[in-house]
Amino acid sequence: MPKVYIKTFGCQMNDRDSEALAGIFLEKGWSLTAELEDADVILVNTCSVREHAENRAISFLGSLKRLGVRGKRLVQKNSENSLNANRYTLTAKPVIGLIGCMARNRGKELFKKMNHIDLVCGPSSFDKVFEYVDKIKKEKVRVIDLEDRVRNEEFYHASFRVDAHHAQVVISTGCSNYCSYCVVPFVRGNLRPRHPDDIIREIERNLSLGIKRITLLGQNVNDYNYAGTNFVKLLEKITKIEELKEIDFVTSHPKNTSKELFYLMASSPKIRKHLHLPFQSGSNRILALMNRGYTREFYLNLVKDYKKIVKGSLSTDIIVGFPYEDEEDFNFTKQVLEEV
């Protein structure tokens, strides 16, 4: 039975993508392995949001060169004979794939520099990864696919879940906000909402597996809108699924967050009373440079409404040291933290 090793860097979206890929390979008769040396295929699912994540992924990809380049690899085998303890066996080089956001961001460069990489595939083409692996193994070719397209819905159909009690459900991919510091729209494309019926079907599939807690995923869940069904309407539909016990969601953008969402959160016992609401900076000047689309005052009023209506917990993201930030800008950020 062939084996696949999947290494994941980055966010919850990447975790779900890797889980879906693992499910596809399992349904095709493969098995998962935690040992690099046992793998017939090694997939490295990467992140480009932070430089540190890219550096870690590049370092890991570089370490895989020891497994061979376009030929054979030597794998050490233990021997019972202590006089000859280091025996090696010649075996086929694994297919090595660089996939995910860094593939879109730096894939062409790394495909040229690292000739032990056989596959480079952006997140929009994850539904084609197994097909490409099969092609590489049969035809001994290298494949690069950095197209920006809508995934085939079948990508999400596999039943494999890492957690037997909790599942992550992607409701949209990409983002259309184009914050000045963020690479997401360039590596995952503009926001693409999934059809509400497809989302409901995936939730029902999780319920059939005994999973009753879900997290809805999107780079900006509040910007979800499919043919008039916005995020609040989608969430309302999901709360009506009888067997479902708990619903969480990430990540929210302040400019797309509404009182309607807060009222639904407050009224439904199924929705977790927690909101991740990044404010990034307390300085209106820096927020404008970031292209965030709101002001400090808007954010503070939103938080007041949330506390009054939902009375839940709150978490956030903050960027300090942003280009052109001075001490006054930094102090504005401190003031927002203190006031919230």
Residue 72 — very low, low, confident or very high, per pLDDT cuts 50/70/90? Answer: very low
Q: According to the model, what pLDDT value does residue 66 have?
A: 87
Q: Which domain range does residue 84 map to? A: 3-145
- What was the pLDDT predicted at 74? 44
Residue at 270 is within a domain: yes
Q: Model confidence at 87, in pLDDT bands (50, 70, 90)? A: very low
- Report pLDDT for 91: 55
Environment class of 217 (CB within 10 Å of its CB; exposed 0-12, middle 13-18, buried 19+)? buried
Residue with structure tokens 């989302």?
Answer: 199
- Which pLDDT score, from 0 to 100, does residue 85 have? 36
Q: Are residues 89 and 224 in the same domain?
A: no
Counting the structural domains of the chain, the total is: 2
Give the number of C-alpha atoms closer than 13 A to the C-alpha of residue 273, restricted to the C-beta side: 13
User: Is 83 a residue whose pLDDT tops 90?
Assistant: no
Region 163-179: what's the mean pLDDT?
96
Tell me, yes or no, whether 205 and 105 share the same domain.
no
Does 153 map to a domain?
Answer: no
Average of per-residue pLDDT across 48-70:
88
CATH number at residue 72: 3.40.50.12160
**Please, how many CA atoms are within 13 Å of residue 88, restricted to the half-sphere of its CB?**
8
The pTM for the full model equals 0.90
Residues 312 and 207 in one domain: yes
pLDDT tier, 258 (very low <50, low <70, confident <90, very high otherwise): very high
Instruction: Evaluate if residue 14 carries a pLDDT over 50.
Output: yes
Do 130 and 102 contact (CB within 8 A), yes or no?
Answer: no
Measured between alpha carbons, how far is 201 from 221 in angstroms, rounded to an integer?
18
Instruction: Collect all residues with Cβ–Cβ distance below 8 Å to 35 and sequence separation of at least 6.
Output: 5
For residue 220, give the nearest of 251, 199, 183, 179 by alpha carbon.
251
**How many angstroms separate the CA atoms of 30 and 4, rounded?**
7
If asked whether residues 167 and 306 sit together in one domain, one would say yes
Pair (197, 285) in one structural domain: yes
| pLDDT given at position 80 | 41
| Domain end residue (candidates: 85, 119, 145) | 145
Nearest in space to 122 (alpha carbons), one of 179, 216, 186, 40? 186
Residue type, 244: L
Is position 154 within any domain? no
